[in-house]
Amino acid sequence: MLGNGWAPGFTIPDILMTLWGMLLTPRLDLPDKVNEDTLEYVSNREKFNRKAAEWTISYARK
C-alpha cells in the first residue's frame, strides 16, 4: 500500500489493516527506521511493554 502500491480505491478498513500489520511486524529491513526501541519491541516484548506503560504514566496522563 505504501510507495507505489497506493491506489485511490483503498478504503479506510484497508488502510487501518495495513497500519495494524505494520505495528505488529515492524520492518527490520529498513535500517534508517530501526532504532533501539524497535529492536527491543521485537526481541524483548515484555521489557518494551513495561517501558511503554511507564512512559504512558509519566507523559500521557498529565
CA distance 24 to 40: 13
Alpha helix segments (H runs only) across 1-62: 12-24, 36-43, 45-55
- Does the pTM exceed 0.75? no
Q: What is the pLDDT along the chain (62 residues), one digit of tens a residue?
A: 666 677 888 899 988 998 898 888 877 777 787 788 888 888 999 999 999 999 999 998 65
DSSP, res 45? H
CA distance 6 to 33: 20
